[in-house]
Amino acid sequence: MKPKSPVISNIKKNSVAPTRNRANLNQYLSNLQSSRNDKRKSLVKSRESHLSNPQQPSGTPLQKPKFPMSSSQALKFYRKEMSEHEMGEILDFKTIYYLGQNSDKIQASVLKSPNYGYDDKNGDYKVVLNDHIAYRYQAV
């Protein structure tokens, strides 16, 4: 009995893999990988667009939920008002009580020291008015 050949599900029906020489096969595989990468980029852009402009099925923008909220809700509705550091950090918190969306946020960087730019040269935290402290308190 002849063994069955493996099923390749990612190749289009009308697509024929070149078998004449290695260069043609390499080109075919490169084109296939490029096509996959384009699809991934398209999906990522679509997801980012949805996250940055959440809308109801009818096309009307959703109202931002009131605090407290989950970290995923805060990220979904307030990501444009958050620093890059906050977008990663917020997921460590279960409940968000305050976000400080109208403050002049410190832009953290691994190149800044001490503490990525959040502390002064004496190691004291740089307080920014109206910013959050642990997504729970407002700095006043």
Q: How far apart are CA 56 and CA 67, in angstroms?
A: 20
pTM above 0.85, yes or no: no
Q: What's the CATH class of domain 69-138?
A: alpha beta
CB 126 within 8 A of CB 120: yes
CB 63 within 8 A of CB 54: no
pLDDT of residue 29: 72
CB 59 within 8 A of CB 82: no
pLDDT of residue 38: 72
Please check the confidence at residue 60 and state whether its pLDDT lies above 60: yes
Q: How far apart are CA 37 and CA 89, in angstroms?
A: 28
Q: Where are the domains of the chain?
A: 19-50, 69-138
